[in-house]
Amino acid sequence: MFALLGCGYTGERVARRLLARGLPVLATSRRPERLSLPGARLLRVDLDDPSTLDDLRRALPAGVRVLHSVPLLRDAYGGFRDPTPELLSCLPTSTKRVVYLSTTGVYGGVFEVDETTPPAPRTPRETLRVSAEDHTLAGPWSALVLRPAAIYGPGRGIHVSMRRGEFRLLGEGTNFVSRIHVDDLAALTDAALLSEETGAWPVADLCPAQSREIAAFCAELLGCPLPPAASAPELSETRRANRRVDGRMIARKLRVRLTFPTYREGIPQALAAEAGETQSEEPGAFSETG
């Protein structure tokens, strides 16, 4: 069985890939009723409600393969806490495989990142991510950590925040942004669950680009003016990032060829998918995080 703990934006796509091949899937969410995954077993798991962790413990069979994609949670004091120890304590010791979706945030202020770059966390949030990775890798199972750059796709990314009038460039927009299309991340995660590769790896598409370049591309597609600039303190950590991530090594090891090697393929696909969704249903209401 495959247990997808935190079946959100990426997890749902991983679930669909596995289900399409007839594989058994258990998917967790705080609101499993929002998941549309025919054939999957859905389970409510909320780390703020410990009784749901007992349900999870009972639901996980021997030899399970697990995706952990629950982000850091807010603590009672407005800071962050890492749910990894609690979550992984529910796994049977016979768990075969754990894949953890971490973040390139663990590289802190390093500009050029590839598979040889060690983590260099600067903030408590980045440090917690490194400890979540270490916890995952220290378990009695085979484990792999994927560190995705900004995840984008239908309903998420610069094109969404620009359309809402919320996007701001950092100064002149010369900072580099690395990203990965959610479908490519799902393909890598799917392969990772079935592979025996171990360790922690950066994940990104083939095209780190200055944020003004991507903003200009989106503005032209959307037919709107280039957004105004903002200073660093006004922007989220993600928007302030300045990082060029080379994620080719893990894609090669997992034998995954990216469908969206650059934003020039990925953003038009996201817009087309959103247009399709708007015709048939409400557009996705994902917020941009990470």
Ligand X SMILES: NC(=O)c1ccc[n+]([C@@H]2O[C@H](COP(=O)([O-])OP(=O)(O)OC[C@H]3O[C@@H](n4cnc5c(N)ncnc54)[C@H](OP(=O)(O)O)[C@@H]3O)[C@@H](O)[C@H]2O)c1
Contacts with ligand X, residue ranges (CB under 6 A): 6-11, 29-31, 45-48, 69-71, 73, 101, 103, 148, 150-151, 289-290
Kindly tell me which of 86 and 172 has the beta carbon lying closer to ligand X: 86
Min. distance of Cβ 249 from ligand X in angstroms?
18
Burial class (CB in 10 A: 0-12, 13-18, 19+), 185: buried
What is the smallest separation between the CB atom of 74 and ligand X, expressed in angstroms? 9
- CB half-sphere exposure, 205, CA atoms < 13 A: 26
Q: Please state the closest distance from residue 232 (CB atom) to ligand X, in A.
A: 19
94 vs 122 by CB, closer to ligand X: 122
CB 44 to ligand X: min, Å: 8
Cβ distance to ligand X smaller for residue 76 or 279: 76
In angstroms, what is the minimal distance from the CB of 225 to ligand X?
25
Phi-psi category of 156—alpha, beta or left, where left has phi over 0 and alpha has psi -120 to 50?
A: beta
How do strand 80-81 and strand 73-74 relate by DSSP bridges? Answer: antiparallel
- Those residues whose C-beta lies under 8 Å from the C-beta of residue 97, and which sit 6 or more positions away, are 65, 66, 141, 142, 143, 144, 193, 194
DSSP run (H or E) holding 277: helix 263-280
Do the beta carbons of residue 144 and residue 254 sit within 8 Å?
Answer: no
Q: Which is nearer to ligand X, 183 or 225 (CB)?
A: 183
Q: Which of 181, 192, 130 minimizes the C-alpha distance to 151?
A: 181
- Report the residue number whose CB is nearest to ligand X: 8
Q: Which is nearer to ligand X, 62 or 206 (CB)?
A: 206
